[in-house]
Amino acid sequence: MRRSLDFLLRNAGYAVERWPDGESFLKGVSREARGCVLLDIRMVGIDGLEVQARMAREGLDFPVIMLTGHGDVPLSVRAMKAGAVDFLEKPCDREKLLQAIRTGFSYMHDRETRAEQQLLAKTRIAGLTDRERQVLDGLACGYPNKTIAFDLGISVRTVEVYRANLMSKLDLTNFADTLRIAFAAGLGSDDVWQRTYRIATKRGLAPVRAAASGVFHDR
């Protein structure tokens, strides 16, 4: 897979460095390099989430794009909460991958706009109903629809309807963008969710809830 990604990205005009695993990347990458990092969430040795965490601890301030398998939504949410720019399911669509890389470089060049993005996200979310915001908060915590339904005392189908409605109101078409808006607005705190909804559950207000990596540079 590294070889095919290397070929695709070089053809798109990017300089590419390939690494066999996360440890090799962390030990060998230049602290002075500027680029975007593509990580597989499941790799031999340390996984993509651990590489991402160690990058943060070691001051490696690269935008991260995480590759995931089908159904890795909780892990993808963790990656986004830790600062990943995007996550893509394997096998990657060429245009989605290139757009994610462009977004990564945009994040790298426009960090000063984060406060503005936060304000915009809060403004957009203000247009949601209370229940839509609650469902969005649960999604940002990484919970599946069943868990959100249990904690809020509603059906799974109702959660699905709220999820579709909130994405429509926010003019979003994919889950990664939905998470990005939620995180920018400060949603996704598991502690707050548990204090707000799990405690209510116990009081009877709701039903009881029982790869490879690489660094890519602009040319």
pLDDT interval class at 215 (50, 70, 90): very low
Q: Which of 74-83, 114-123, 164-173 has the lowest mean pLDDT?
A: 74-83
State the virtual CA torsion across 179, 185, 186, 189 in degrees, nearest 10: -40
Among residues 209, 191, 212, which one has the least CA distance to residue 92? 212
Instruction: Sort 85 into a burial class: Cβ within 10 Å, 0-12 / 13-18 / 19+.
Output: buried
Among residues 117, 121, 50, which one has the least CA distance to residue 79? 50
Cα separation of 153 and 211, whole Å? 39
Pairing mode of beta strands 14-19, 213-218: antiparallel
- Domain over 2-109+212-218 is classified CATH 3.40.50.2300: yes
Q: What CATH number is given for 114-188 in this structure?
A: 1.10.10.10
pLDDT of 74 higher than 80: no
Q: Could you give the residue range(s) of every CATH 1.10.10.10 domain in the chain?
A: 114-188
pLDDT interval class at 78 (50, 70, 90): confident
Q: Could you give the residue range(s) of every CATH 3.40.50.2300 domain in the chain?
A: 2-109+212-218
Read off the pLDDT of residues 91-143 as tens digits, 9 standing for 90 and up.
888 899 999 998 888 877 666 567 678 888 999 999 999 999 999 999 999 99
